[in-house]
A and B are shown apart, each in its own frame.
Chain A
Amino acid sequence: MECLEFRRRLTAEPGSRDPEFLAHRDGCHAGCTESWWRSQRFERQLRNVLQSVDAPEDLGERVLLTQATSLRGRARHRWQIGLALAASLLVALVVAGYAWNLRTTDGGPLAGMAIAHVRSEAFSLTMTRPIDAAQMRPVFAKRGVALRDVPAHAVFAADCRVGPYRAVHLVLRENGSPITVLYVVGHRIADARDFSRAGWHGREVPIGNGTLVLLGNGSAGFAAAERAVTDAVMGATLQTEQT
């Protein structure tokens, strides 16, 4: 290594441990050894000056405080997100539950159509004279149903339309109270259910390939009416449908 290269290196990298560099330092008689010592003194001074800046006394503590605060903030944020998700889930459950409740207590669309139909034929609820088998069978026959038996206590029978569905409209009087029974042919609901809607109590029951809809002021007498109509219809043979 030549002196020029040594001194360039010395100025750029005075702490170099390169063997060639150190060998030149120790072997040169042209003043490079003295230059190296002066350079080391300068480096010491430079280092001292750069390190003479005092950091704020509590800097470390403040850094830790910032970190802890940031951590807690993020934990709080995560907790808030969790809370928001839980609240959303709760709201969804409440809405779903309410909808389910509505569905189960209000009945489905068939219940609404049945109530509308009974309101439009409110006169049927005033009927009190029993009708016989000869009057009833043709009504069912029109809906393709051959009755096995005739429901007791029937005071009204007519073939009607309930919404888009063909139905037999019966009114039975159990203990003096009228119970409307609509036998909706060709539309079978999945499960039986009771409902309350617009002041009416009702029950929907799947039967054969259709559905019975019972309506009354209360549910008393529903069981007997359901049994009577079911016994009359079940076993009946579906025949060619007449409109």
Chain B
Amino acid sequence: MNLRQRQFDALVHAHAGDLYRFAYWLCGDPSRAEDLVQETMLRAWRALDSLQDAAAAKPWLLTILRREHARGFERKALDLTILDDGLKDSIPDETAGADPEQAGSDAELREAIAKLEPKYREPLLMQVLGGFSCEEIAAELGVKPGAVMTQLFRARHKLRKSLSGDAVGRESAHGVS
């Protein structure tokens, strides 16, 4: 096995799971998410020589995936409402066996994430799952950092509001909106 193939294997094993989660929350469809990972990895293989820094691998892959998703999104001109409904329907139930209060809260949060409009959900995913800074998100989305800050603020604000009895949500809404 040559070095290039070994590098690719390592990349796949290290990041396929993260890519899948990112793709899943982006598109809300497990099958499409897997396709996105496959397409992303094939593109990554072709462009592997441009990856010089192992630390940059994850954001590099997530960027490829996000663009791949955007291309598919433009091609299919998906109805955002349908997309969101699809995401809600396919949310996995990870609450079995968990603390009932925490489980209920997580379920509410999952549903709230699914309800987020893509313009809020995408930068949030890039920040939380991808580790991108506001400046990096702005550069990737082609908007100003201030606009990204606003989108992230509103995304979290909506999520907190959705959590019933959440003090932080009330506080945030009260103090900063």
Contact = CB atoms under 8 A, between A and B. Distances in A.
Contact of B134 (A13, A35, A43, A63): A13
A50 B128 contact: yes
A50 B168 contact: no
Interface residues of B, number: 44
Interface size range on A against B: 35 or more
Main secondary structure of the interface of B (DSSP, over half): helix
B16 A63 contact: yes
Contacts, number: 109
A237 B169 CA distance: 120
Contacts of B166: 42
A12 B167 CA distance: 17
A56 B34 contact: yes
Interface stretch (A64-72, A111-119, A149-157): A64-72
Interface stretch (B18-26, B62-70, B75-83): B18-26
B109 A63 contact: no
23 contacts: A11-B172, A12-B153, A12-B156, A35-B168, A35-B175, A38-B168, A38-B171, A42-B160, A42-B168, A46-B113, A49-B113, A50-B125, A50-B128, A52-B92, A52-B94, A53-B20, A53-B25, A59-B16, A59-B17, A60-B12, A62-B34, A63-B12, A63-B41
Interface of A: 3-4, 7-9, 11-14, 35, 38-39, 41-43, 45-56, 59-60, 62-64, 66-67, 70
Interface of B: 8-9, 12-13, 16-17, 20-21, 24-25, 30, 34, 37-38, 41-42, 45, 92, 94, 105-106, 109-110, 113, 125, 127-129, 134, 149-150, 152-153, 156-157, 159-160, 166-168, 171-172, 175-176
